[in-house]
Structure 1
Amino acid sequence: MIYRADPARYDAMQYRHSGKSGLKLPVISLGLWQNFGGTRDYPSAMEILGHAFDAGVTHFDLANNYGPPPGSAEELFGQVLARDFRPYRDELIVSTKAGYYMWPGPYGEFGSRKYLTASLDQSLKRMGLDYVDIFYSHRYDPNTPLEETMSALAQAVRSGKALYVGISSYPEQETREAHRILAEMGIGTTIHQPSYSILNRWIEDDKTIDACGELGIGVIAFSPLAQGVLSGKYNQGMAEGTRGADPRGSLRASHIEPRVLAAVDKLGAIARSRGQSMVQLALSWVLRRKEMTSALVGVRTLEQLKDNLGVLNNLELTADEIAAIDEASRDGLMELHPRPSGWLR
């Protein structure tokens, strides 16, 4: 069956400029971090991706190491592009990243020009693309001069292999410095992708989000549901197929200790009072800030995607509701400020 996009796909979605750039992103973007690798078959992938695009989700976020195994998410998305999304390429924002481990030896991770350039070429090949819309430095590398990392991003734009560039999980001072270096090269820092949620507020504590607002850098939050904790599913135990049930997964024990789950219970009551799911409350909260361009969600099922998209029906939070969320979450906050090793993704 040939996929044909819904003619009404842009009717309900909201779009925001990424900082001071001309690039607009949907307020809900779809990330292919842990759920679109070698364990996902094509029909189920296309069911989710097609529904997302039909709902106005134009931005699909990847990285070289997404899977599992690493590279498989880009390969699967490349198949979708070739078979179903090709007529709509100019309506899509496709992003990828380089920074984490991909191949053996000294040139297979971190922030060298050698690694970023080679990785982008590999990503383009896996996806069957001539260019990506956004190319990120996936994590700050304290052992490579920032000028070298940023020059690799600038070269990606000049070579036509990327239209925009961004940074991910960079703290405030490194964000400011990256912006300065790129500006001197005539390249804009279009977007910053940090982790951010009701329970994980490091970009507020660190002032990174304020720096982005000041400098005109857009912000797209990854893990706005705190690895699924803010869906409430871990308050009922470790369901099969969840990240918490996988000992190799990215969810840490500290994410689901009793004080965190108690905070989630309190937040659930606020969500119910608004007629929302926990997921929708969490997304509304992330998107409340003017600096925030988009919330990046990851889903395993079509029903999860529909729940996420339901936030569009009630995005606004009152000052009293924000204060209640702050009070409910106060004892459940996570300490997730990025260190040189970065977030494990």
Structure 2
Amino acid sequence: MSVYKAADDRYGTMHYRRCGRSGLKLPEISLGLWHNFGGVDRADPARDVLLHAFDKGITHFDLANNYGPPPGSAETFFGSVMDQDLRPYRDELVVSTKAGYGMWDGPYGDWGSRKYLVSSLDQSLARMKLDYVDIFYHHRPDPETPLEETMGALDHIVRSGKALYAGISNYGPETAAKAISILRELGTPCLIHQARYSMLDRWVEDGLTDLLGREGVGMILFSPLAQGLLSSRYLTGEVPSDSRAARGVFLKPERLTPAMLAKLNALNDIAQERGETLSALAIKWLLKDPRSTSVLIGASSVSQLDENLKALEGDPLSSAELSRIETVLAMPE
């Protein structure tokens, strides 16, 4: 395998946004390792995607302890690429990971206790072969552990040097407001909130985006293509055999109703008029809001990654186009 040397022009085309009121900037598009980088995936194509992303100015790689499958294997893969290729560029990278879902047997391997979060991060650092991560998130709210304990664990982790910043993920507006307040009082401000958001899933608009903007907390968005619905794969109503809908785990084939297909094709018409793909339009739509720090994409190939990066090209969406998109999105599904 050849020795990797990063592209000299890697910062030539990527755009970066400041994360809330912090000093940290993130690329407008970041790479998530939720799928396609686990133990069941081929290592060489996954490595190609990861290194190509960095060559294109994607400096932020997002993981979690349970990413794979199997859980933990995405971090192990990232650790191998870190050792083999990216070690000389560590100071150019923002690496994040999370804990909050089930990882091991017994009462200490899930949710939001201090015991779980500290132990999980130690395991993650060992798998990724890192001394620290740049961002450590609590992955989901814990209804049983006091929020003060969970946020106190994040504060402890940052003060210990195992993470540079603290973040939260999948928190609703009310719980997020409390978490942000606790972290501020502890002296470790909440850097960022990671939330699911797309044209077809707009729950964050019910108070969360306003909260984050008001509090100066960054917002990074996952599932921007709604599990692939906002790509060109399903426009005919057929389900490709290698697609997520075919596997039926996160995207169910029955969601491809005639009404949904009409909506997707209407959005695709707008994208084609702009000379863009539907996926590029969907990502560009998310980036229209200055409170959106970065959009997390997944990619199973270099060509798929490049297709999504085209969202950064061309003119911003006009007010007339945004109005047309809203009209389409109001169509029944």
TM-score of Structure 1 vs Structure 2, range by shorter chain: over 0.9
**Aligned counterpart, 1:268:** 268
Q: Deviations over 1:27-47 (max 9, x none)?
A: 000000011101223221121
Go from structure 1 to structure 2 and tell me whether the alpha carbon gap of 1:242 and 1:13 turns closer, same or farther (over 3 Å shift): same
The CA deviation at 1:99 is 0.6
Residue pair 1:284, 1:315 contacting (<8 A) in 2 also: no
Point out where structure 2 has 5 or more consecutive residues left out of the alignment: none
**Aligned counterpart, 2:221:** 221
SS of the aligned residue for 2:293 comes to: strand
Q: Distance in 2 between matches of 1:59 and 1:318?
A: 29
TM-score normalised over the length of structure 2: 0.97
> How well do the aligned residues superpose, as a CA RMSD in angstroms?
1.2
Matched ranges for 1:137-148 at <5 A: 137-148=138-149
Q: Letter of the 1:170 partner, please give it.
A: Y
Matched ranges for 1:66-81 at <5 A: 66-81=67-82
The CA deviation at 1:254 is 6.0
SS of the aligned residue for 2:276 comes to: coil
Residue pair 1:98, 1:116 contacting (<8 A) in 2 also: yes
Q: Distance in 1 between matches of 2:55 and 2:103?
A: 33
Matched ranges for 1:207-286 at <5 A: 207-236=207-236, 237-247=238-248, 249-253=249-253, 255-286=255-286
Q: Distance in 2 between matches of 1:251 and 1:261?
A: 14
**Aligned counterpart, 2:193:** 192
Q: Deviations over 1:143-166 (max 9, x none)?
A: 111111101111110000000111
**Aligned counterpart, 1:56:** 57
The CA deviation at 1:332 is 5.2
Q: Distance in 2 between matches of 1:271 and 1:214?
A: 32
Q: Letter of the 1:113 partner, please give it.
A: R
Matched ranges for 1:110-149 at <5 A: 110-149=111-150
**Aligned counterpart, 1:340:** none
Q: Letter of the 2:329 partner, please give it.
A: S
SS of the aligned residue for 2:275 comes to: coil
Q: Deviations over 1:103-162 (max 9, x none)?
A: 112211111111111111110010010100000000011111111110111111000000
Q: Deviations over 1:153-187 (max 9, x none)?
A: 11110000000111111010111100000000001
SS of the aligned residue for 1:306 comes to: helix
The CA deviation at 1:245 is 1.0
Q: Distance in 2 between matches of 1:246 and 1:194?
A: 24
Matched ranges for 1:23-62 at <5 A: 23-62=24-63
SS of the aligned residue for 2:331 comes to: helix
Q: Deviations over 1:216-262 (max 9, x none)?
A: 00001000000111003123321122111113x22245643333222
Matched ranges for 1:295-314 at <5 A: 295-314=295-314
Residue pair 2:232, 2:277 contacting (<8 A) in 1 also: no
Q: Letter of the 1:232 partner, please give it.
A: S
Q: Deviations over 1:279-324 (max 9, x none)?
A: 1000000010010000000011111101011111125111111111
Q: Distance in 2 between matches of 1:190 and 1:224?
A: 21
Q: Distance in 1 between matches of 2:245 and 2:104?
A: 27
SS of the aligned residue for 1:233 comes to: coil
The CA deviation at 1:331 is 2.8
Q: How many residues align?
A: 331
**Aligned counterpart, 2:292:** 292
Point out where structure 1 has 5 or more consecutive residues left out of the alignment: 334-345
Q: Letter of the 1:231 partner, please give it.
A: S
Residue pair 1:33, 1:66 contacting (<8 A) in 2 also: yes
What percent identity do the matched residue pairs reach? 53
SS of the aligned residue for 1:191 comes to: strand
Q: Letter of the 1:319 partner, please give it.
A: S
Q: Distance in 1 between matches of 2:33 and 2:50?
A: 10
Q: Distance in 2 between matches of 1:254 and 1:316?
A: 33
Q: Distance in 2 between matches of 1:183 and 1:254?
A: 44
Residue pair 1:284, 1:314 contacting (<8 A) in 2 also: no
Q: Letter of the 1:158 partner, please give it.
A: R
Q: Letter of the 2:283 partner, please give it.
A: L
TM-score normalised over the length of structure 1: 0.94
Q: Distance in 2 between matches of 1:38 and 1:129?
A: 19
**Aligned counterpart, 1:19:** 20
